[in-house]
Structure 1
Amino acid sequence: MDAEEPYVSPLFDQHNRFHDYLRISLTERCNLRCTYCMPEEGVQLTPSEKLLSREEIERVARLFVSKGVRKIRLTGGEPTVRKDLLDIVESLAQLKSQGLESLAMTTNGIALRRTAEPLALAGLDTLNVSLDTLDPHKYVLMTRRKGLERVLENLERASSMGMQTVKINCVIIRGVNDTEVTDFVALTKTWPISVRFIEYMPFGGNRWEKRKLVPYKELLNRIEERFGKVEKILDDPNDTSKGFRVPGYAGTIGFISSMTNHFCGTCNRLRITADGNLKVCLFGDNEISLRDAMRSGMTDGQLHQLISDSVKRKKKQHAGMDARVMEEGGEYLLITPPHCHGPDQIGAYSNRLSHIDQHTGEAKMVDVGGKDITRRMARARARISLGVEAYRQVKENTNVKGDVLTVAKIAGIQAAKQTASLIPLCHPLALTKVDVACRLVWNEANEVEGKGLVIIDCMAQCTGPTGVEMEALTGATVAALTVFDMCKAVGRNMVIEHVSVLEKTGGKSGHFLPDDSDIERGNGSD
């Protein structure tokens, strides 16, 4: 009889890295709209029935802990907007009797006033708060929401309620908040927290520019200019942060150098997205759906094998891409920052452009053959500003070229129907309805210069596998261009501006409608 083979955990990859750190995204929703993390128009949300349930989260966590996971971090979106968060924390904290050593959570800190103490009592021991400025005005600019004073109060509350570890994660952007680095360091003088500075990273939608990146070595030099030589502290083998301390200070500082000095060689992290996909590498597109596996009736043993096969396919670094692209002076990838909520729910915050082939870098048309056929609608708006005479002619219908608004409506409808011919990678859609509406608005406050507006709304509908946002946007934009063309003889200072999607329905994302509702809750509109 053959000797029994030694047990090997399914969490070892082919490079002998053991993955004992699991990040679980609880939701795709967030109550902030941080400029470095999310496009202003928001993101598409997965229908709630396709997200992991509390029971499924508990089962997945138990499976991973049984195979050696020692740390679990709950992320999002914003975890505190999930109504059953406390129940999830209580159940996962019970795994500490089975080998789990730390249960952590990343949050923006807005709702900690009502959740910090219950979470600490339930077993949450580590809290990471994303905070990028100590200036109230700048906070609004960076997060597109108010709430800095609340976050600072909640941070102090969390520290005094028995939370073992409290950290601040700060993304540094040159010209935005880089001058505040020493102010953050000053917080650690009497406050036993860890402030970690994160290099600004690019992803689709955040308008990243290389000049905005501040390398961690430059930040360290700035800090030492004010505070003197800092002490290096011992980092754990798998730390992503390089830790330091100002001599005599109660807290510590750290640098996450994701751009200028990557840390793939010691990676011990696995991620589960809110919709249940296991992601073994932040940069990779290969995912397996643990949600679908569980809902199909797989046993724990079968799930272990599925997980093991996925982990063993993990590449040495950056999903097999050349590591030089992440080094200082090289090219840069479109990715999402490691501390914010995006990477743990890639299904919502895409880390790649859908129209770019991940292997060749060439443009491609997205395959929508597997998408559901649903009724879809989108509304878009564009506006064009006119001078006094042009505005008068449009309003009184005296333009020598004809009825400006009627021609613009017809042009918008025709353009929406021709979108696939105008935008190379758009799918040709059989539109069931297009409606263009124009209205005139005079800006009384600007009467001396004279500024009138034509506001154009375009609504497009279809029944199909992909959305009609581009059709609505094209219709609104071409209608505005038509107004421009017909009025250019009498108004050369016209400006077409504020082209945006107002609303859309249908498909995976459901109903999208911009919403500035209560900051305490994560609205599902975008």
Structure 2
Amino acid sequence: MLTDRFGRVIDYARIAVTSACNLRCAYCLRDEAGAPQKTQQLDMNEAWRLIRVLAGMGVRKIRFTGGEPLLHPGITELVKLAKSAPGIETVKITTNGVLLDRQLDALVEAGLDGVNLSLDTLDREKFISITRRDRFEQVSQALDRLITTPGLAIKLNTLLLRGINSDEIPAFVELTREHDVTVRFMELQPFDDQQIWRTGRFMGAEMIRKQLVGAYPELKAVTGHSTEHYSFRLPDHRGSIAIIPAFSRNFCSSCSKLRITADARLISCLYHHESIDLAPVLKGKMNEEEIKKWIIEAVQQKPKDGLKSSHDTAASSMSRIGG
């Protein structure tokens, strides 16, 4: 069982299988039209080897992220392999949904347990403005498929930006009326490729809560996931609503995550500069005990509170860290 210096049990790995993305959201990546985008992609065999080792060390949850994980040609096989690893209990993905409609059946058949769909607006024009790509129809179709697919845990990750999409809270809440979905309103992170963080668009968790409670005084507080600082249900609604203090990060004390980047770097915390390069280890002929040694070292580097331990961010874009 992996335990850090502060007694936290590490049982969750977020694996960025690629840094490539087919959107250029203003809070994540610059849109350098015509310029080649340097991306990395995790080798399937290396990813599988790493998952087996992590499972043997007590990791029980795997989430494939990116970039956009559905751009990885082996994503369905990776889901299937991860589900087959002894000890792994759940395998999920976080996706922007552009390619989801055409891949969902295969992913479900491979054993996928849940999907977090990143969707910041239900308006086509706003979608184009935020993502700089006209892919709203594909994502809308993916959402329709998701909420009618039985057996999947469905969450919508909606990053709220003041004056951009903050007026859409009621539209997203309405999705929970008939569908067993968790709508999660999220704070902006400073991993925005130096585009929007300093423009005054940040909307903090407390501001989101006040706006939500003001619109729905009948909200009932419920217990949500550890990152879901505020969790609510509305009477007669099948789904739930949560607020994620992604920047405030008041859930650091219970963090159980490790992150693996698309270039095989092991990161113990979003805000921690230190990382361990696993690529030479995975490509070489080190045995599993030697790989475990490096993983244990990364876990011991995990800070008690990442945000307080660093004044600078560890990367310029979430696509380089893993969502």
Secondary structure of the 2:22 match is coil
Aligned to 2:38: 45
Q: 1:13 aligns with which of 4, 8, 18?
A: 4
Are 2:16 and 1:25 aligned? yes
Q: Distance in 1 between matches of 2:249 and 2:272?
A: 19
Q: How does 1:69-468 map to 2 (within 5 A)?
A: 69-95=59-85, 98-203=86-191, 204-209=193-198, 211-236=200-225, 238-318=226-306, 321=309, 334=313, 341-344=319-322
- Contact 2:49/2:282, CA 8 A, preserved across alignment: no
Shift of 1:168: 0.6
Q: Are the structure 2 counterparts of residues 116 and 337 from structure 1 closer, same or farther at C-alpha, using a change threshold of 3 Å? A: farther
Residue by residue, what CA displacement relative to the aligned partner does 1:463-490 show, whole Å, maximum 9, x if unpaired?
xxxxxxxxxxxxxxxxxxxxxxxxxxxx
Q: Which amino acid aligns with 1:307?
A: I
- Contact 1:202/1:336, CA 8 A, preserved across alignment: no
Q: Are the structure 2 counterparts of residues 68 and 129 from structure 1 closer, same or farther at C-alpha, using a change threshold of 3 Å? A: same
Q: Are the structure 2 counterparts of residues 26 and 240 from structure 1 closer, same or farther at C-alpha, using a change threshold of 3 Å? A: same
Residue by residue, what CA displacement relative to the aligned partner does 1:188-211 show, whole Å, maximum 9, x if unpaired?
111111110111222342231263
Residue by residue, what CA displacement relative to the aligned partner does 1:182-239 show, whole Å, maximum 9, x if unpaired?
2111111111111101112223422312631222222222223332231111134x43
Residue by residue, what CA displacement relative to the aligned partner does 1:218-266 show, whole Å, maximum 9, x if unpaired?
2222223332231111134x43543211122111111111234532111
Q: Which amino acid aligns with 1:40?
A: D
Greater RCO (CA < 8 Å, at least 6 residues apart)? 2
- Contact 1:132/1:170, CA 8 A, preserved across alignment: yes
Q: Distance in 1 between matches of 2:205 and 2:25?
A: 21
Q: Distance in 2 between matches of 1:16 and 1:109?
A: 36
Aligned to 2:57: 67
Q: Distance in 2 between matches of 1:319 and 1:241?
A: 17
Secondary structure of the 2:276 match is strand
Aligned to 1:58: 48
TM (norm. structure 1) is 0.58
Secondary structure of the 1:258 match is coil
- State which structure, 1 or 2, has the greater radius of gyration over its C-alpha atoms: 1
Q: How does 1:485-500 map to 2 (within 5 A)?
A: none
Q: Distance in 1 between matches of 2:97 and 2:139?
A: 5
Q: Are the structure 2 counterparts of residues 291 and 171 from structure 1 closer, same or farther at C-alpha, using a change threshold of 3 Å? A: same
The structure 1 segments of at least 4 consecutive aligned residues displaced by more than 6 Å after TM superposition are 335-338
Q: Distance in 1 between matches of 2:251 and 2:50?
A: 26
User: Percent of aligned pairs with the same residue?
Assistant: 32
Residue by residue, what CA displacement relative to the aligned partner does 1:317-351 show, whole Å, maximum 9, x if unpaired?
117626xx7xxxxxxx546799x644228xxxxxx
Secondary structure of the 2:13 match is strand
* Structure 1 residue ranges without an equivalent (≥5): 1-8, 326-332, 346-526
Q: 152-161 or 85-94: which moved more?
A: 152-161
Secondary structure of the 2:321 match is helix
Q: Are the structure 2 counterparts of residues 73 and 37 from structure 1 closer, same or farther at C-alpha, using a change threshold of 3 Å? A: same
Q: Distance in 2 between matches of 1:225 and 1:152?
A: 28
Q: Distance in 2 between matches of 1:16 and 1:258?
A: 22
Q: Are the structure 2 counterparts of residues 261 and 273 from structure 1 closer, same or farther at C-alpha, using a change threshold of 3 Å? A: closer
Q: Which amino acid aligns with 2:62?
A: I
Shift of 1:22: 0.1
Q: Distance in 2 between matches of 1:142 and 1:252?
A: 25
* Structure 2 residue ranges without an equivalent (≥5): none
Q: How many residues align?
A: 320
Q: Which amino acid aligns with 2:132?
A: R
Q: Which amino acid aligns with 1:205?
A: Q
Q: Calculate the aligned-residue CA RMSD, in Å.
A: 2.2
- Contact 2:61/2:89, CA 8 A, preserved across alignment: yes
Q: Distance in 1 between matches of 2:164 and 2:316?
A: 17
